[in-house]
Amino acid sequence: MYIRFGDKIKALRKRDGRKQEDLAAALGVTNQAVSRWEADKGYPDMELLPAIANFFHVSIDELFGYSNDRETRLAAYIEKTDKMRNTANCKTDFEELESFLRKSLAEFPNEWKLQMRLAWVLESKAVEERVKGMEPQSLNEAIVLLEKARRKCDDDGWKDSLISQLASQYAEIGDDEKKERLAAESSPVFISREVLKANYTKDEEKRRRYSAEAILALIHSSVWAMDWNWGDSPDAFIAMAELYKALFGGKDYGMFNSDMCRLYLRAAYQYASRGEKRRTMECLDLAIQHGNSFRESWGKKQNKLSAPFLVKAADLPREYVIIDDCWISSAVSTFPDEIADAIRKDPKYASVFDN
């Protein structure tokens, strides 16, 4: 099979977002030499081939044949990263995860899936820095990675998630200008892709599917909009949880258990602020129950819904708050001291605070 070597170099260079000058500088040749190679008007000396392959993080065989070895390695790194992230529960685990991701990005410097995952880890690290009274330096690096990932992302669902993450982190650092710019680039709810698909199709089967997906997307977004932004009354959070119950038939919430956990935690916070200990405990118990169910669904990557109205939904939201005991204990720490202390001393909550 005839391989145009110049096309191969050009494709690899564009894949990595490199310029001809970058390759020329790394090899110690002129820009014109690289330009001639890419135009197939000349070829590099044989002794330069290992350096070229190393520059693009490929083997010499891949340089000439471009097998799928690169994609296989990348997929393996992402799979390992996700397994490490799902089981990480202490500082050492996250340090190992960060180290692994940095090594993976050294090999694949422009892969948005790796950039996005390292940003997740750095966001968690920034929270820890803030708790210690330090400037959250990790957050700045996370934002840079998210910006790069967003530009490279070729998946609409993940691009939405990246935009949401960026908006959140811009808010954290007080950059309202960038946050507003991101919002301006998005579509309003009434012409969202979910609503448009649901309203403008003559295929009844598709209409049922798209309607279910539109409802799920809208209520999921409503929880994100409500969280930490709804006055001092638990009623709205309880009402939203009741709406979830009605739609889901009171079971099989899948990954949406994350939303239920957040709603009940916010209601618990509001009851605690009023000094209503019994109602606080009731909502906290429900929050923990849904948090445990979320982790089970998350571990199995299971989000199949059985409620008649929702069973046809296939393209579900991807962005969920990852619920763990640390997340719940952190929420309890915001309760008034008297109620928070009572919760911590209650044996039935020991597992939440022992981790």
- From 269, 264, 173, select the one nearest 223 (Cα to Cα): 264
Give the C-alpha distances (Å, rounded to integers) separating 211 from 188, 194, 196: 17, 8, 10
- Dump pLDDT digits (tens) for 229-252: 667 789 999 999 999 999 999 888
In a domain, 44, yes or no: yes
135, 251: one domain: no
Amino acid at 270: Q
Q: Would the pLDDT of 278 be above 80?
A: yes
230, 318: one domain: yes
User: What does pLDDT average to over the chain?
Assistant: 86
243, 167: one domain: no
226, 317: one domain: yes
- From 314, 295, 296, select the one nearest 304 (Cα to Cα): 314
Please state, for a pLDDT cut of 70, what percent of the chain lies above it: 94
Range of the domain at 49: 5-67
How many structural domains comprise the chain? Answer: 3
The per-residue pLDDT for 1 is 38
166, 264: one domain: no
Burial classification of residue 191, based on how many CB atoms lie within 10 Å of its CB (0-12 exposed, 13-18 middle, 19 or more buried): exposed
116, 156: one domain: yes
In a domain, 75, yes or no: no
327, 265: one domain: yes
User: CATH number of the domain that 119 lies in?
Assistant: 1.25.40.10
Q: Would the pLDDT of 355 be above 60?
A: no
In a domain, 191, yes or no: no
The per-residue pLDDT for 156 is 79
The per-residue pLDDT for 230 is 66
- Residue range 330-350: mean pLDDT, rounded: 91
Q: Would the pLDDT of 337 be above 90?
A: yes
50, 115: one domain: no
Lowest mean pLDDT among 18-32, 239-253, 312-326: 312-326
280, 169: one domain: no
In a domain, 345, yes or no: yes
61, 86: one domain: no
215, 300: one domain: yes
User: CATH number of the domain that 25 lies in?
Assistant: 1.10.260.40
- Dump pLDDT digits (tens) for 155-198: 877 888 888 889 888 988 888 899 888 888 888 887 888 888 88
217, 291: one domain: yes
Q: Which of 152, 184, 216 is the last residue of a domain?
A: 184
Q: Which of 184, 200, 223 is the last residue of a domain?
A: 184
First to last CA, the chain: 58
- Dump pLDDT digits (tens) for 71-96: 788 888 999 998 888 776 666 678 89
User: Any idea how long the chain is?
Assistant: 355
Residue 52: pLDDT band (50, 70, 90) is confident
Cα 134 from chain centre: 25
